[in-house]
Amino acid sequence: MTFCLLGLYHARMGFATREQLNRYYDLYKDVDVTFSKDVMQALCFNARQVCVRSAGGQCSCVMNSASMVGAKVILSRKSSLLESIQVEGASVSIRFSFFESDARDAVSFFVTSRVLGVEDYAESTELVVLSVAYTQRIPDMLIERLGLLVEANISSKKRKSERIAVNKESMRRIGLMRAETIVFIQAIPRRCVLRDVSFGGAKFIMMGVAPFLKGKETVLKLDFEEPSTSMSIRGHVVRADQVEGRKDLVAVAMEYDFDVVPVAYRMCLNRYASDRCRRFPGTDEDCSAASAGDPGRSSAGAEGIDLSVPFSLS
């Protein structure tokens, strides 16, 4: 099943209000979003249904990038439609399509646009990029999805080191299925218990010896619910301390390889931060996901960790 993050978001937070949509549009309308595989998955984008239509018919295309005021699509140079639409100012419509929360049914709509230009795609002799500007305000669904994504990317940089303590409440709001998970240390799977997460890293408790963990490459597996899906985030250990009173346990701070953190993960954490802003309006400090501090310091203790069945660190 395709992971539809927006279904999880709506289940937790409800749909965006008119005020929120207007805010997204005013702040982010000119931000161009490249439709990578990661982005399309996070947006529940139905890439197979994208097409460009004009009076001469329609043809399939690939979404290259889009903002709230325009888009760029890739189509074949051999398309019979190309000759009639490559004139600047020509009228066209771009079809967008998104999966709903159950990832089975899709919602599609056309956005009327005018052609800005046609240029070669990279060094390809077979493909061209069609640039268009919308001639009307785009549907709310597209504003919401692009707005959520852009906001999450901005928040991930602004609040990179702000930590969210992993507890029942934060897990519910983030959509995290469980605190107990698997971390791969130098490709070897090890059981661990999450203590906190952030846009830039995570802290967890595991069995081990601290001096042997520092600097090691890691991949943290996180399980999300509604719908059930897993994300793997690459990084490395920046700090490891033996847990006081437990010689067999170590508190580990992991820093993510920030540029490859999944967009969907950023959106999940941003949902939590946005909810705090709504519940505690005011200053940036009021809206912080958690108190900021040294991102490399492992302050987690062993209190509250259940080492018995059904989950064990051994």
Annotate 148-177 with b (16+ C-beta within 10 A) or e (fewer).
bbbbbbebbeebbebbbebeeebbebbbbb
Q: Where are the domains of the chain?
A: 18-158, 160-276
Q: What is the pTM of this model?
A: 0.82
Alpha-carbon gap, residue 124 to 167, rounded angstroms: 51
Tell me, what's the pLDDT at 101?
65
Higher pLDDT pick, 2 / 209 = 209
Q: Please check the confidence at residue 261 and state whether its pLDDT lies above 60.
A: yes
Tell me, what's the pLDDT at 164?
95
Q: Please check the confidence at residue 268 and state whether its pLDDT lies above 80.
A: yes
Q: Name the maximum alpha-carbon separation found in the chain.
A: 75
- In this prediction, residues 107-119 reach a mean pLDDT of 96
Alpha-carbon gap, residue 109 to 93, rounded angstroms: 9
Tell me, what's the pLDDT at 104?
65
Q: How confident is the model at residue 277 (pLDDT cuts 50, 70, 90)?
A: low
Amino acid making up residue 211? P
Tens-digit pLDDT profile for residues 127-166: 999 999 999 999 999 999 999 999 999 999 999 989 999 9
Tell me, what's the pLDDT at 123?
87
**Domain 160-276 falls under CATH 3.30.450.20:** no
Higher pLDDT pick, 229 / 8 = 229
Q: How confident is the model at residue 227 (pLDDT cuts 50, 70, 90)?
A: low
CATH topology match: 18-158 vs 160-276:
yes
The region of weakest confidence among 8-22, 26-40, 153-167, 251-265 is 8-22
- In this prediction, residues 7-26 reach a mean pLDDT of 74
Q: How confident is the model at residue 92 (pLDDT cuts 50, 70, 90)?
A: very high
Q: Please check the confidence at residue 47 and state whether its pLDDT lies above 90.
A: yes
Tens-digit pLDDT profile for residues 19-28: 999 999 999 9
- Share the mean pLDDT of the chain: 85
Q: How confident is the model at residue 290 (pLDDT cuts 50, 70, 90)?
A: very low
Under DSSP, is residue 227 helix (H, G, I), strand (E, B) or coil? coil
Q: Residues near 203 by Cβ (< 8 Å), separated by ≥ 6?
A: 163, 194, 195, 196, 197, 251, 252, 253, 254, 298, 299, 300
Alpha-carbon gap, residue 201 to 252, rounded angstroms: 11
- In this prediction, residues 29-40 reach a mean pLDDT of 97
Higher pLDDT pick, 86 / 310 = 86
Q: Which pair of structure tokens corresponds to residue 24?
A: 């997204």
18-158: CATH number: 2.40.10.220
- In this prediction, residues 292-314 reach a mean pLDDT of 42
Q: Please check the confidence at residue 38 and state whether its pLDDT lies above 90.
A: yes
Tell me, what's the pLDDT at 87?
86
Tell me, what's the pLDDT at 213?
95
- In this prediction, residues 184-188 reach a mean pLDDT of 96
Tens-digit pLDDT profile for residues 61-74: 999 999 999 999 99
Q: Please check the confidence at residue 311 and state whether its pLDDT lies above 80.
A: no
